Structure 1
C-alpha cells in the first residue's frame, strides 16, 4: 500500500512540472489598478511597469528590491524615463533581497498608501511564486492582477523556479 502511494508522488511531481512549464502566466490586459508593483531581477520588468504607468493604468508604482546605492535619477537615466515621473509617481524599495521580502516590502508600501488594487509585474516564470508570497502577507486585503513579462527561460531556470515554488507552498503549509 505504501509503495503504491509513494509511486504516485513522482507522477504528481512530473505532471505539476509539466503544467508549470506549459502554462506560464501571460501579460495582463489594460485593466486599471491603483498601483503597479515591479519586482526587480529580470529584464523588461521595469520597462513594462513604466509602460503601464505612462499609459495611465495606475497612479503610482513601487519598484521593489532596488539596490541601496541606486537613486531615482540613475534609474530614470537607465530606463529613459523623465525624472519628473520618478519624482511624482515612483517609489524605490531598497529593503527586499528575495521574493519573500519583496512581498513584505510591497505589503508595507500598500498599507502606507492605502491601495486596494495592484498590477504585479515580474517575469512569467517567477509570477506564480511572487503572487503566492504576496497573497500570504496580504490576507486578501488587496486585489492583485498578475502582469507577466514574457521570457524564454531555459530548462534549468524553470526546474529551479518550480522547486522554489513548491518549497514556498510547503513552507506555508507548515507555518513558516
Structure 2
C-alpha cells in the first residue's frame, strides 16, 4: 500500500514537471493595463516593461527587486530613450530580495497607486511561482495579466523552479 502511494506521488510529480517544463507561460498581447510590474533578475524583463510604456499601454511601472546601490539615472542610462519614462512613470522598488517579497512590495505599490489592472513581467520559467505569490499578496479586485519573457531555461533551472513552486504551495497550505 505504501509503495503504491509513493509510486502515485512520484508519477504525479513527474507529470507535473512535464507540464511545468513543456507548457511555459507565453508573452501577452499588448493590451492596456493601469500598471506594469517588472521583477528584476534576468535579461529583457525591463526592456519588455519599457516597450509597454512606450506603446502607451500602461501609465506606471514598478521595477521590483532593485539593488539599493542602483540610482535611477544609472539605470535609465542603460536603456536608450527611457530617461523620460524614468522621470515620470517608473518607480524603483528597493525592498524586495526574493519572489515572495516582490509580491508584497508590488501589493503595497499597487494599493498606493490605486491600480486595478496589472501586467506582471518576468521570465517564462519564473511566471508561475511569481504569479502564485502575487495572487496571495494582492487585493482580490486587481486583475493581473501574465506577460512572460521567453527564455531558454536549462533543465536544471526548470527542476529547481518547479520544486520551489511546490515548496511554496505546501508552505502556504501550512500557513507559512
Shift of 1:109: 0.2
Could you tell which deviates more after superposition, 47-56 or 76-85? 76-85
1: CA distance, partners of 2:74 / 2:145? 28
Q: Aligned equivalents of 1:52 and 1:90: distance in 2?
A: 12
User: What residue number does 1:137 align with?
Assistant: 137
Quote the Cα distance in structure 1 between the aligned partners of 2:135 and 2:31. 19
Describe the SS at the equivalent of 1:52: helix
Partner of 1:63: 63
Cα distance in structure 1, aligned partners of 2:145 and 2:23: 17
* Misfit runs of 4+, over 2 Å: none
Structure 1 length normalisation: TM-score? 0.97
Q: Could you tell me how far apart the structure 2 residues matched to 1:41 and 1:16 are?
A: 25
Distance 2:80 2:171 in 1: 40
> How many angstroms does 1:51 deviate by?
0.4
Q: Number of aligned pairs?
A: 176
What is residue 146 of structure 2 aligned with on the other side?
A: 146
Higher helix share: 1
CA distance in 1, matches of 2:22, 2:111: 35
Match of 2:123 in 1: 123
What is the TM-score normalised by the length of structure 2?
A: 0.97
Aligned to 2:78, the other structure's residue is in SS state: helix
Q: Provide the secondary structure at the position in 2 that maps to 1:67.
A: coil
Structure 1 match to 2:102: 102
| Structure 1 counterpart of 2:40 | 40
Deviation at 1:62, TM superposition (A): 0.2
Offset at 1:139? Answer: 4.3
- The Cα RMSD (Å) is 0.9
SS in 2 for 1:56: coil
Once the two structures are superposed, the pairs formed by residues 66-105 of structure 1 within 5 Å of their partners are 66-105=66-105
